[in-house]
Amino acid sequence: MKELVLIIRPEMLEELKEILDEVHCGGMTISSVMGCGTQKGVVENKVNQIRGFKININLLPKICAQVVVEDDVVERIISSVRERVASGRVGDGKIFIRSIEDAVRIRTGERGSKAL
């Protein structure tokens, strides 16, 4: 099992939900977060100032989606996200991938993939 942590533009959430539905993911956790990448939140053509003070790091609203899936759908999710969630502009986001040791469905006690 792998956990994908996908940080995307808020307006891309509906597309991401469709992609996750297509791979029959068991569930997902979505949070509204603030973040920045290599541009440190500097938006093109915008002066990075607040009340005249220059700011070095600006945080922009993003969506963070966490989803635990079976290993065999990971690459399919990544390629669909690359095709359908990218605008091609900076700030499209990132996917972090980590291994998950085990899972438990609290109601039934099912473990591992059965708990997803």
Which residues contact ligand ATP (rule: CB under 6 A)?
7, 35-39, 60, 62, 90-94
Least distance from ligand ATP to the Cβ atom of residue 13, Å:
14
Alpha helices in 1-116 (DSSP H): 13-22, 74-84
Identity of the residue numbered 76: R
CA 51 – CA 44 distance, rounded (Å): 19
Identify residues 8-47 at the interface with Mg ion (CB under 5 A).
Answer: 37, 39
CA 92 – CA 95 distance, rounded (Å): 10
Q: Whose CA is closest to 12, among 74, 75, 88, 70?
A: 88
Of 33, 55, 90, 104, the residue at the interface with Mg ion (CB under 5 A) is 90
Least distance from Mg ion to the Cβ atom of residue 75, Å:
24
- Name the helix (H) or strand (E) containing 3: strand 2-8
Candidates 5-13, 26-34, 57-65, 87-95: pick the segment binding Mg ion (CB under 5 A). Answer: 87-95
What would the two tokens of residue 33 be? 């977060």
Least distance from Mg ion to the Cβ atom of residue 64, Å:
15
Least distance from ligand ATP to the Cβ atom of residue 91, Å:
4
In the complex, the residues that contact Mg ion under the rule CB under 5 A are: 37, 39, 90-91
